[in-house]
Amino acid sequence: MTRWLPIAVLAVWAGAALVGPLLPLEPSRVTLDALLQGPSPGLWLGGDELGRPVLDRLVAGARVSFFVAVSVVVLSGITGTLLGATAAYLGGRVDSTLGRIVDVFLAFPGILLAIALSALLGPGVFNLVVALSLVGWVGYARLARAQVLSIRQRDHVLAAEALGAGRARIVFRHLIPLAVAPLLVEATFGVAAVIVAEAGLSFLGLGAQPPTASWGSMIREGSRYMLVAPHLVIAPGMAILLVVLAVNLTGDRLQDRFGRRTGRAGS
């Protein structure tokens, strides 16, 4: 039963993000009678400082979190995988240049670099995706490079080269598919990291802008009323905790499964 809980949490998160716009929700509806009201039958998670329903805003925030997480992981994963795999296969100056670029990015803490890029690009969800993608590709590039370096001398790759296959065909057909498993695990943990980063940047005012709801901005707005209305912080905080925990547990399970499979294949 417990093994399915992370999947259930992720399904609820994805469902809220995808189906939320079709539901009769009003995350921006101001109700003066519900100012800082606690949870009640009419307001399941209470109202915020403007009387807006916290539950509706929580669902709207799930949409922002889901969009940013998926977009950043897809963009940074594809970019990093292509760069890392290509550089490792070509080797020489190309590989050395990529290594130096990666070292430059790793010289700065990722979250600080994301804050600087977000501030430079300006607030907004799209700019947030761009900033996090520019920071997040490095991990995928390093992992893809390491994987390709370990498999580029295998027999099937050498055979493809002997048969005259082009470099692009070898990279896409013979190298990247063998590196998919560890990259998928990396992407899973990347989703959790992006959720936390999005919440943190939104807390700083660099993410979704009012009246758009996001979990980070909900915590920022609710932190001023923690003593009188703690539900304003508890609700989005618990949402972040549950989703990130579910993603990490799913990543651990994938890592164990692919690790056992790799172990059997190598034995």
CATH of residue 200's domain is 1.10.3720.10
Res 263: pLDDT: 42
Q: Flag whether 59 is in a domain.
A: yes
**Mean pLDDT value across the chain:** 89
User: Per the domain annotation, does 17 fall within a domain?
Assistant: no
The pLDDT value recorded for residue 267 is 32
Residue 35 falls inside a structural domain: no
pLDDT tens by residue, 94-112: 889 998 998 888 888 888 8
Q: If you average pLDDT over residues 21-44, what whole number do you get?
A: 86
Q: 48 in a domain, yes or no?
A: yes
User: pLDDT tens digits for 67-98?
Assistant: 999 999 999 999 999 999 999 988 889 889 99
On whether residue 7 sits in a domain, the answer given is no
- Answer yes or no: is 34 within a domain: no
> Could you tell me the residue range of the domain that residue 136 belongs to?
43-266
Q: What is the pTM of this model?
A: 0.90
Overall domain count for the chain: 1
pLDDT value at residue 246:
95
Query: In angstroms, rounded to a whole number, what is the distance separating the alpha carbons of residues 237 and 220?
Result: 11
> For residue 5, is it within any domain?
no
**Residue 95 falls within a domain, yes or no?**
yes
pLDDT score of 232: 93
